[in-house]
Amino acid sequence: MYLIKKNDVKKIAKALEEKYTLYGPYVDEAFGQCFFDKVSADNVDLNAPIPTNPPKHVVFPHLETIMQYKYDKNAKKVDIAMVFDDTPKVLFGLRSCDLTGLQCIDRFFLGQEFVDEVYRHHRSRMFIVANTCVVPFKQCFCVCTDSGPAAQEGYDVNLTNLGDSYLIEVGSEKGKAFIESFGFAKATEEQLKQKQKLIEKSITMFEDIATESKAWASRVMNRVTTGFIKEEVWEYIGNQCIECGACSYVCPSCTCFNINDANTIAGNTERVRTWDSCSYEGYSRMAGGHNPRKPIEDRRNKRFLCKLSYSQSKKYLRPGCVGCGRCAWVCPGEIGLPNVVTYIRREIHE
């Protein structure tokens, strides 16, 4: 535990930038929207609001070539090469909900019977600097999903803004070695307590600040798991879905993908992986034309079962929703997860 001056944050970012490609929050200069993306240490902005895009694209890009092959007609030979990206990357200033999302993705791609090599390479040389939310944002509900406002684990370094200084905690050997090299002043127990107080205060601020979405998920998880939800409720929800896929795309923990082959002008074939969404009709259609989830309400409930049922939670070791509220931002229906929870709870209480 160390205490640093505010300016030292840049110093840390600069040091990381030398060894890693730096990813972090920045504010777009044209219209002021915040993104999490490749950024220089000079532009990374820890005070920026929660980025509108989750960091998922760093390890699981929207569109990515994962294999290339070329068929040599004369030699009757195929050249196949996997395409990996193992450039060292640092995720700088990750908020707790997004870090939790990353852990969910880890469990899907790495924690099951099958290990996804493409993903493993992305993730293999990564350094994570988390950033405690001492103030929540309008659409946040991580307090309902146990994923914030402060990171508990999974980071190499965690930063907390104490007002005029930052508290640094290390979460791994790698993080420890890195921070030790600076020779910063040690923090006291008093300052750790100060951090705890700030987190408690942040939690109480949800009531007034985070007013856009609330999702008291626990009762709903029970309902979703036991299946006691009336069909009309799913229909009400399903009717509002226009199948845009946005909820999956902006979700820090969604992992659906699609694989396609495309010919290049150079004469190769590339195998590309793209994001996909369970809301799409084509996603669950099986070869032969049978679609087990044809009606839209079934596809919709599939997503919420995935996010909120116990069986899924066993896989992620937590609910699939991390409380960032982004799906409510982007949904053309009004069925972001917080709303869905509200609709289901409304039914429970009626």
Partner 1 sequence: MSYRPGVCTFCGTGCGHYLKVDGTSVQGVFPSRVHPVSKGRLCVRGWNIHELLGTQERIIKPYIKDSGQANYQDAIAKLVSALSSYKPEEIAFYASPRSSNEDNFALMKLARLVFKTNNISLQAESGHRNSLDVLYNGTGFAGMLGSLEDIRKAEVLIVAGMDITTQNPIIGSELHYASRSGSLLITIDSRMTKIAKLSKKFINIKPGTMRIVFDAIGHYIDKQQWGDTKSAHYEEYKKYLATVPFDSIEKETGVLPAEIAFVAERLVKAKSAAVFFTSGISGLSYDTVASIYNLFVLAGKIGKEGCGVNPIVGINNLQGSFDMGCAPDLLTGFQSIDDATAKKNFEKKWGHELPQFKGKTVEQLLADSSSPLKALVIVDHDDGIVKYADRLQSLPFVAYIGAFTNKVADVAHVVLPITTYIETDGTFTNAERRVQLSLKKCDNTFDVLPMWKLCDTIAQAAGKAFNYQGASEVMDEIASLTPSYESISYKLLSKKHGVQWPCTKKNHDGTKYCVPEKVSFVLPQKPYAAVQATQEYPYLLMLGKSQHYWHQNNIMHKTFIPLREYNATLLLYPDGYMAIAPEDAKKIGVRDRWPVKVVAEKASMKAMVMISDDVAPGTAYVPYFIREGIASFLLAYSDIVSQGEEATIPVRIEKV
Q: Which of 333, 338, 339, 342 binds ligand SF4 (CB under 6 A)?
A: 333
Q: Which of 19, 82, 115, 282 binds partner 1 (CB under 8 A)?
A: 282
Q: Which does 343 bind (CB under 5 to 8 A by kind): partner 1, ligand SF4, none?
A: none
Count residues binding ligand SF4 (CB under 6 A): 26
CB 218 within 8 A of CB 308: no
Contact partners, residue 206, CB within 8 Å, separation at least 6: 136, 140, 141, 143
249 contacts partner 1 (rule: CB under 8 A): yes
243 contacts ligand SF4 (rule: CB under 6 A): yes
Both tokens of residue 212? Answer: 């856009």
DSSP string of 269-333, one letter each residue: EEEEEEE--TTSTTTSPPTTS--TT-SHHHHHHHHHHHHH-HHHHHHHTS-S--S--HHHHH-SS
Site for partner 1 in 8-27 (CB under 8 A): 26
- Name the strands in the sheet holding 269-275, side by side, starting at the edge strand that comes first in the sequence: 77-82, 63-72, 269-275, 257-263
SS3 of 258, please? Answer: strand
Applying CB under 8 A, the span of 82-90, 164-172, 212-220, 242-250 interacting with partner 1 comes to 242-250
Applying CB under 6 A, the span of 25-33, 85-93, 189-197, 236-244 interacting with ligand SF4 comes to 236-244
Q: Region of 325 please: left (phi>0), alpha (psi -120 to 50) or beta.
A: left
282 contacts ligand SF4 (rule: CB under 6 A): no
Of 28 and 117, which has the nearer Cβ to partner 1? 28
Q: Which of 246, 306, 308, 322 binds partner 1 (CB under 8 A)?
A: 246
**Residue number of the CB atom closest to ligand SF4:** 148
Both tokens of residue 178? Answer: 């890195």
48 contacts ligand SF4 (rule: CB under 6 A): no
**What Å distances lie between residue 6 and 10, 13, 162, 168, 194, CA to CA?**
8, 12, 9, 11, 16
Task: Give CA torsion, residues 316, 120, 91, 158, to 10 deg.
Answer: 60
88 contacts partner 1 (rule: CB under 8 A): no
- Of 206, 128, 130, the closest CA to residue 161 belongs to 130
Min dist CB 302 to partner 1, Å, is 16
CB 99 within 8 A of CB 151: yes
Min dist CB 244 to partner 1, Å, is 5
331 contacts ligand SF4 (rule: CB under 6 A): yes
Both tokens of residue 177? Answer: 């070695």
Would you tell me which residues interact with ligand SF4 (CB under 6 A)?
50, 95-97, 133, 136-137, 140, 142, 148-149, 241-247, 279, 323-324, 330-333, 335
Would you tell me which residues interact with partner 1 (CB under 8 A)?
26, 28, 30-33, 35, 37-40, 43, 52-53, 57, 61-63, 239-240, 242-246, 249, 258, 260, 262-265, 272, 274, 276, 280-282, 285, 289, 291, 329-334
